[in-house]
Structure 1
Amino acid sequence: MIHNPETPHQRLTRNYGEMLQEIRVAQTGVQFLLAFLLALAFTPRFAEISEFQRTVYVIALLLGAAATALLIAPAPFHRLVFRRRLKSHLVAATGWFTLCGLGFLVLSLGASMLLILDVVLGTRQATWLTTGIVGWFVIWWFAVPMWSRRRGQRHPDSR
Structure 2
Amino acid sequence: MVQHGRRPAERHETPAERMDRNWDELMQELRVTQTGAQILVGFLLTIPFQQRFADLDDYQRTLYLTLVVVAAVATVLIVAPVSLHRLLFQRGLKGELVGAGNLFARAGLVALAVVMVGVPMFLFDVVVSRSAGRVVGGSVLVLIVAVWWAVPWVIEVRSARRGL
1:22 to 17, 29, 38: 29
Q: Does 1:107 align with 2:114?
A: yes
Kindly report which structure 2 residues correspond to 1:116-155, keeping only aligned pairs within 5 A, or say none: 116-155=123-162
> Residue 125 of structure 1 aligns to which amino acid in structure 2?
A
In the TM superposition, what whole-angstrom CA distance separates every residue of 1:9-51 from its partner, at most 9, and x where no partner exists? Answer: 0010011101111111111100000000011112221111111
In the TM superposition, what whole-angstrom CA distance separates every residue of 1:41-98 from its partner, at most 9, and x where no partner exists? Answer: 1222111111111011011111101100010001000111111111001111111111
1:50 corresponds to which residue?
A: 57
5+ residue gaps in structure 1? none
In the TM superposition, what whole-angstrom CA distance separates every residue of 1:122-157 from its partner, at most 9, and x where no partner exists? Answer: 01121012101111012111222233234444555x
Q: Does 1:60 align with 2:70?
A: no
> Residue 42 of structure 1 aligns to which amino acid in structure 2?
F
Distance 1:4 1:53, change over 3 A: closer
1:89 to 85, 96, 107: 96
Question: Does the aligned pair in 1 maintain the 2:78–2:104 contact within 8 Å?
Answer: yes
Question: Does the aligned pair in 2 maintain the 1:66–1:104 contact within 8 Å?
Answer: yes
Question: Does the aligned pair in 2 maintain the 1:67–1:104 contact within 8 Å?
Answer: yes
1:98 corresponds to which residue?
A: 105
Question: Does the aligned pair in 2 maintain the 1:34–1:64 contact within 8 Å?
Answer: yes
Task: Tell me how far apart the structure 1 counterparts of residues 111 and 129 of structure 2 sit (CA, whole Å).
Answer: 24
Task: Tell me how far apart the structure 1 counterparts of residues 42 and 114 of structure 2 sit (CA, whole Å).
Answer: 16
Q: How many residues in Structure 1 have an aligned counterpart in Structure 2?
A: 155
Distance 1:148 1:31, change over 3 A: same
Question: Does the aligned pair in 2 maintain the 1:114–1:127 contact within 8 Å?
Answer: yes
Question: Per the alignment, in what secondary structure is the counterpart of residue 73 of structure 1?
Answer: helix
5+ residue gaps in structure 2? 1-9
Q: Does 1:76 align with 2:118?
A: no
- Runs of 4 or more, structure 1, over 4 Å off, are 153-156
> Residue 41 of structure 1 aligns to which amino acid in structure 2?
P
CA RMSD of aligned residues (A): 1.6
